[in-house]
Amino acid sequence: MRHSIPKFWRKREGYYQILLTRCKTCGRIAYFTYIKCPYCGSGDVELVRSSGRGVVEEYTISYYRIEGAEEYLPRIIALIKLSEGVKVTGELVDVDPSEVSEGMEVEAVLRILSSDDPHGLIYYGLKFTPIIKGS
Amino acid sequence: MRRVYVIGSALTKVGRHFNKGYKELASEVIDKAINESGLESVDLVIVANMLSDSILDQLDISTILMQNLGMTKVKALHIETGESSGLAALEVAWTAIKSETAEKVLIVGVEKATEYPTYKINKVYSKVLDYETESIRNITPPDYAALIMKAYLRKYGLKREDIAEWPVKMHENASRNPYAQLNFKVNHEKVLNSMIISDPIRLLDTFPIGDGAAAIVLASSKETGSSKAEPVELVHTSSAVSVQVHLRDDLTKLPATAAVVSDLRMKFNEKMINEAAIELHDSYSIYAYLLIEELGLAARGEAPKIINELEFINVSGGLKARGHPFGATGVYQVAELHKLMTSGLAGRRFDGKYAIAHSMSGPDYNARIALLQRVI
């Protein structure tokens, strides 16, 4: 088993949609479901659902081999600025590495992160895919 | 207030010690460091190690190590703060002596990173990031280094080849350091044509995986024991934590390092950093450039122009070429600086007053600093 089932299940909402933490004290918004604001430490926070759309700010094509994710090489890891103005790091899929560029519009999609092959659990999470113009 | 002195240090060559376990590696440096200090015993042992649970299948490594080395009359602790564990151990040891809860402290940094193939170590090492938001989604430390490097190149209008000098310099330094893992020289062409890890980070921009052990003996009095080395004072330790990479407004700044450097500047003479011998945490060569700028040795975006003017910076070869036995690295840095200020390291001796060790974990998720001062 690659991941603990309760650990994954507990965070399922944040893994299956992009939830942002909005701080009512300092006003900043951060990607992921934090208990307290990562900027100021205030516990007065609320979760906000992101549109899941954004643009690529920086990206890297990674050949760094890690156990359990060998089949996803190369990975395209991007820093994406969401339409809410918040940044998130994530993997880009359904695109050839040569076609990725800064400024490319992307949206979140649900994909396999890893699996307990051949007969075990499949762990899903969000990755990003280019938005096809006109769609 | 009590003062803290480094009265002994020892290190072993970083590399693939297939014939030695962590106990053998630790035992060797403990004996050497204690012997150099002239002490008969210590009050407290602090073990810095990052991978004991995941790679060595060992919890409570400090207890088990003491049991195996016949040191059951000594208090022992294990410290882990990711890649900066070594300097964290030093910070705790410094506090123990300053607070008069210990007089003589032995710090042992030990890591066995070659027990499994690299892809397994890569996976475990990636856990220095937040498992729930980063490593579970296959985001790794070199990926961040790559994003940060691209942001730096873009911000200052630089080309990839403009920042290929660091590995060349580090390999040159390591070629003279008997404790370095990669003691061969490289040139720009070799750096720029080495295998891509996370583009634009290439193999020769990164540290090698290796085992190692280093030890330091600290004491409250420089007259303690019959130290064979000149005493050096450990005058300051500090640390800070920063936010995750995706929460940063400017990727080219390292917030935790900025905080510890600012603390250092406030407490000591501003010029001291420019005159000090420095060992800094160049896990990826881009970090060396950013750290040089955070330390104020170069203006923002100017580090590539002054790399070759820096004489006593990573004399060891740095993480890049001396190697990076994770939890032991901070202990290596301090042991190397101690040698450099006393008996010499890599055929060189530093006669200046101050030496700085800087360590961090991941992309500056935490940063730690230690300041050594020659006792006049």
pLDDT tens, B177-225? 999 999 999 999 999 999 999 999 999 999 999 999 999 999 998 776 6
Residue of B nearest to A72 (CA): B138
Is the Cβ of A32 closer than 8 Å to some Cβ of chain B?
yes
The predicted structure's pLDDT at residue B11: 97
DSSP secondary structure code for residue B207 in this structure: P
Q: Among B122, B138, B243, select the one facing A72 at the smallest CB separation.
A: B138
The predicted structure's pLDDT at residue A134: 63
Q: Among A67, A70, A89, select the one facing B134 at the smallest CB separation.
A: A89
B187 contacts B168 by C-beta, under 8 angstroms = yes
Cβ of B243 and A39 within 8 Å? yes
- Tokens encoding B151: 């942001």
pLDDT higher than threshold 80 for residue B288: yes
Domains of chain B, start order: 5-117+210-232 (3.40.47.10), 121-201+234-374 (3.40.47.10)
Question: Who has greater pLDDT, A2 or B47?
Answer: B47
Q: On the CB side of B231, how many CA atoms lie within 13 Å of its CA?
A: 22
**Poorest-confidence range of A7-21, B40-54, B247-261?**
A7-21
Give pLDDT < 50 ranges for chain A.
none
Q: Could you tell me the pLDDT band of residue B269, with boundaries at 50, 70 and 90? A: confident
pLDDT tens, B320-374? 999 999 999 999 999 999 999 999 999 999 999 999 999 999 999 999 999 999 9
The predicted structure's pLDDT at residue A135: 53
How far A117 CA sits from the closest chain B CA (Å)? 17
Cβ of A59 and B147 within 8 Å? yes
Name residue B55's amino acid.
I
The predicted structure's pLDDT at residue A132: 82
A129 contacts A92 by C-beta, under 8 angstroms = yes
The predicted structure's pLDDT at residue A1: 67
CA angle A64, B129, B193 (to 5 degrees): 25
The predicted structure's pLDDT at residue B225: 64
pLDDT tens, B109-162? 999 999 999 999 999 999 999 999 999 899 999 999 999 999 999 999 999 999
The predicted structure's pLDDT at residue A5: 84
The predicted structure's pLDDT at residue A103: 97
- Counting residues of chain B whose pLDDT is more than 70, the rounded percentage is 99
Q: Could you tell me the pLDDT band of residue B294, with boundaries at 50, 70 and 90? A: very high
CA angle B342, B348, B354 (to 5 degrees): 50
List, as ranges, residues 60-119 from A with C-beta within 8 Å of B: 60-70, 72, 75, 77, 79, 87-91, 113-114
pLDDT tens, B51-91? 999 999 999 999 999 999 999 999 999 999 999 999 999 99
The predicted structure's pLDDT at residue B226: 65
Q: Among B126, B136, B246, select the one facing A3 at the smallest CB separation.
A: B136
Name the residue among B252, B283, B246 with its Cα closest to residue B358: B283
Name the residue among A64, A127, A102 with its Cα closest to residue B195: A64
Full 3-state SS string of B6-55: EEEEEECCCECCCCCCHHHHHHHHHHHHHHHHCCCCCCEEEEECCCHHHH
Residues 6+ away with beta carbon under 8 Å from B7: B36, B37, B38, B39, B217, B218, B219, B222, B224, B225, B227, B229, B231
Is the Cβ of B70 closer than 8 Å to some Cβ of chain A?
no
Q: How does the average pLDDT of chain B come out, rounded?
A: 96
